[in-house]
């Protein structure tokens, strides 16, 4: 961190030097991952110059006046900032025994944006002329919504000074309003309360201030936004608030809909996004016929899609079926009618067992967002499949030997630090001066204690960044590593998770899919041809 920045200890600012940023286009979904990445950079001291002012990524509270003053007084440095991640400054530390180094400001202090701070924010945005991505993190649950309103008003003015093609806004719907009780959450037909209506008005007025400029949209929670009409139920918010706004995002290239309610499907069917290239959808596995038809209509209307990730949340636990996720193949294959040149489909159950459906061809890229399912893929298997740009980071075990060949890297993360292998490995390495702790902490979860015995994790961490010369895109993806000791320790020839699987039904599903997708070659390591 720069020594000449006047920053309060309670309001940290993370700076990344261009030595790293020139090789990585970083897209972070969760604040813990950014902290973990910063720690790893500090551990790899040869890549980080503490006093380097030419940084490209900044994460800080929006009410950090020192940050804005620093940017204004150093316009050349500010001109190099490409990613700005702001939050409301009231993020609290985790109070369990993990002691995650969260960013912590003044807890529970309303972050009112006065005239002085607002003017400094606007001036700072004017000098950040190369800003490509701006992310506004939501405040914690229970915070005063009005405090965030002040910030939005100031940032609204600041954003208007940015050139149109260079703005990406993430997670506008992460704003949590007054916390719902369990009873309220279960009552889907409950009418919104007056304070909720006010909060929804803030979202309508401020969260989508430049709809035509949004390139990536990450919708985290739909249960956080309520309809503005007290006569309507919360279910009506889809048609009343979100769908009309989504329809105006003409420049939208990437849309992520997480924890999405099934009743959104009808609204999606009425939306056409001409620039959409990537669609990530999460849905329950109890899709009704009408809902499936709506999703099909949306996919058919977007012929320019190049990436599709369709996640099913199954209520069938892994232990209750010997077939694992494979029965989902015949169930969902008919949804994948989009004429996409590059299709990625991920099907999960509650135990986070994943498998990937991917086309090969001009892209030469298989995006693995698996946790345990692909851990047994060896380097030999990757070469045999002809995948020259493939990475499996479920446990980082292939990192040091395969990194240079890849052009896209995916760090598995669920947003929960105890489920983040990258966070856990780098943190404990750093805490012990670079030496792995060979005796795992008995308080760690069972799966982590078992995983921590694998030496490849420790061997690969120090080599991550030094081998990133050919990697152009790094992003985090949700994922847990469940308690499957056999999977983790199984070699390329041992596939215990396939025991009991009805191979005939799997092959039948593969043949059906291959007829629809001639380019498709591999499904979860199974060769179609």
pLDDT digits (tens, 9 = 90+) for 272-313: 898 887 777 665 545 566 766 777 677 777 766 666 555 544
Q: What is the pLDDT of residue 310?
A: 57
Q: What is the pLDDT of residue 294?
A: 76
Phi-psi region of 361 (alpha: psi -120 to 50; beta: other; left: phi over 0): left
- Whole-angstrom Cα distance, residue 419 to residue 433? 22
Mean pLDDT of the region 178-195 = 42
Has residue 268 got a pLDDT over 50?
yes
Percentage of the chain with pLDDT > 90?
Answer: 0
Has residue 349 got a pLDDT over 60?
no
Structure token pair of residue 14: 């993370």
Mean pLDDT of the region 242-265 = 70
Has residue 139 got a pLDDT over 50?
no
- Whole-angstrom Cα distance, residue 467 to residue 404? 6
- Whole-angstrom Cα distance, residue 373 to residue 430? 29
Residue 331 phi, psi dihedral angles, 5° rounding: -70, -40
Q: Strand 344-349 relative to strand 307-314: parallel, antiparallel, unpaired?
A: parallel
Q: Which of 163-177, 186-200, 201-215, 465-479 has the lowest mean pLDDT?
A: 465-479
Helices and strands (H and E) in the chain: how many: 20, 18
Q: What is the pLDDT of residue 266?
A: 73
Q: Which has the higher per-residue pLDDT, 259 or 190? A: 259
Mean pLDDT of the region 147-166 = 55
Task: Give the range with max mean pLDDT: 7-16, 162-171, 218-227, 243-252.
Answer: 243-252
H helices of 263-407, in order, are 265-269, 289-301, 328-332, 379-384, 399-402
Q: Which has the higher per-residue pLDDT, 367 or 302? A: 302
- Whole-angstrom Cα distance, residue 148 to residue 157? 15
Any idea what DSSP says for residue 338?
S
Has residue 374 got a pLDDT over 60?
no
Question: Residue with structure tokens 């040149």?
Answer: 341
Has residue 217 got a pLDDT over 50?
yes
Any idea what DSSP says for residue 130?
T
Task: Give the range with max mean pLDDT: 4-13, 409-418, 471-480.
Answer: 4-13
- Whole-angstrom Cα distance, residue 394 to residue 375? 7
Q: What is the pLDDT of residue 126?
A: 80
Q: Please compute, for residue 192, the number of CA atoms within 13 A of its CA located in the half-sphere on the CB side.
A: 25
Mean pLDDT of the region 196-223 = 52
Q: How confident is the model at residue 270 (pLDDT cuts 50, 70, 90)?
A: confident
Structure confidence by residue, pLDDT tens digits, 67-108: 788 788 888 777 777 767 666 544 333 333 222 222 333 333
Structure confidence by residue, pLDDT tens digits, 422-439: 222 222 322 322 333 334
**Arithmetic mean of pLDDT over the chain:** 45
Has residue 241 got a pLDDT over 50?
yes
Environment class of 263 (CB within 10 Å of its CB; exposed 0-12, middle 13-18, buried 19+): middle
Q: What is the pLDDT of residue 76?
A: 79
Any idea what DSSP says for residue 477?
E
Structure token pair of residue 306: 């190049």
Q: What is the pLDDT of residue 66?
A: 73
Task: Give the range with max mean pLDDT: 56-60, 187-191, 244-248, 270-274.
Answer: 270-274
Residue 485 CB coordination number (10 Å): 13
Structure confidence by residue, pLDDT tens digits, 110-121: 344 566 777 787
- Whole-angstrom Cα distance, residue 484 to residue 349? 15
Mean pLDDT of the region 259-275 = 73
Q: Which has the higher per-residue pLDDT, 141 or 238? A: 238
Has residue 128 got a pLDDT over 70?
yes
Mean pLDDT of the region 31-41 = 36
Residues 323, 497 contacting (CB under 8 angstroms): no
């Amino acid at each position: 961190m720069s020594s000449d920045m006047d920053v309060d200890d309670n309001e940290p600012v993370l700076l990344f030097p261009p030595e790293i940023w020139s090789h990585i286009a970083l897209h972070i979904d969760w604040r813990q991952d950014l902290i973990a990445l910063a720690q790893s950079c500090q551990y790899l001291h040869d890549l980080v110059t503490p006093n380097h002012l030419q940084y490209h990524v900044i994460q800080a509270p929006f009410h950090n006046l020192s940050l804005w003053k620093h940017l204004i007084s150093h316009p050349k440095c500010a001109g190099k900032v490409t990613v700005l991640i702001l939050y409301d400054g009231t993020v609290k530390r985790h109070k369990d025994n993990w002691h995650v180094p969260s960013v912590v400001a003044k807890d529970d202090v309303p972050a009112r944006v006065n005239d002085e701070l607002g003017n400094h924010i606007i001036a700072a945005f004017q000098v950040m002329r190369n800003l490509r991505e701006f992310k506004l993190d939501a405040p914690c649950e229970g915070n005063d919504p009005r405090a965030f309103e002040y910030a939005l008003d100031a940032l609204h003015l600041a954003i208007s000074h940015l050139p149109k093609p260079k703005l990406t806004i993430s997670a506008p719907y992460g704003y949590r309003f007054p916390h719902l009780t369990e009873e309220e959450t279960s009552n889907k037909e409950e009418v919104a309360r007056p304070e909720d209506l006010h909060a929804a008005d803030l979202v309508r007025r401020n969260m989508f201030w430049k709809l035509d400029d949004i390139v990536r949209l990450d919708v985290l929670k739909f249960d956080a936004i309520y309809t503005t009409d007290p006569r309507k139920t919360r279910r009506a918010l889809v048609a009343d608030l979100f769908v009309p706004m989504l329809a105006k995002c003409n420049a939208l290239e990437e849309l992520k809909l997480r924890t999405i309610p099934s009743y959104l499907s009808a609204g999606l069917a009425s939306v056409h996004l001409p620039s959409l290239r990537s669609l990530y959808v999460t849905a329950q596995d109890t899709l009704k016929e009408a809902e499936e038809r709506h999703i099909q209509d949306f996919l058919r209307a977007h012929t320019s899609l190049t990436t599709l990730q369709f996640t099913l949340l199954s209520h069938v636990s892994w232990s209750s079926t010997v077939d694992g996720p494979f029965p989902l193949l015949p169930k969902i294959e008919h949804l994948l009618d989009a004429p996409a040149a590059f299709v990625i489909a991920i099907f999960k159950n509650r135990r986070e067992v994943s498998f990937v459906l991917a086309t090969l061809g001009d892209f030469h890229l298989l995006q693995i967002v698996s946790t345990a399912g692909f851990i047994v893929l060896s380097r030999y298997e990757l070469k045999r499949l002809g995948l020259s740009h493939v990475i499996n980071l479920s446990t980082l075990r292939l990192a040091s030997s395969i990194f240079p060949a890849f052009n896209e890297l995916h760090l598995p993360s669920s947003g929960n630090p105890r489920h983040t292998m990258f966070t856990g490995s780098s943190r404990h390495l750093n805490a012990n001066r670079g030496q792995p702790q060979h005796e795992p902490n008995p308080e760690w979860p069972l799966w982590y204690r078992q995983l921590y015995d694998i030496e490849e994790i420790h061997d690969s961490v120090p080599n991550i960044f030094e081998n990133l010369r050919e990697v152009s895109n790094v992003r985090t993806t949700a994922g847990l590593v469940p308690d499957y000791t056999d999977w983790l320790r199984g070699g390329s020839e041992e596939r215990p998770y396939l025991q009991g699987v009805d191979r005939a039904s799997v092959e039948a599903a593969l043949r059906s899919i291959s007829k629809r997708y001639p380019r498709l070659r591999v499904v979860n390591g199974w060769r179609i041809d």
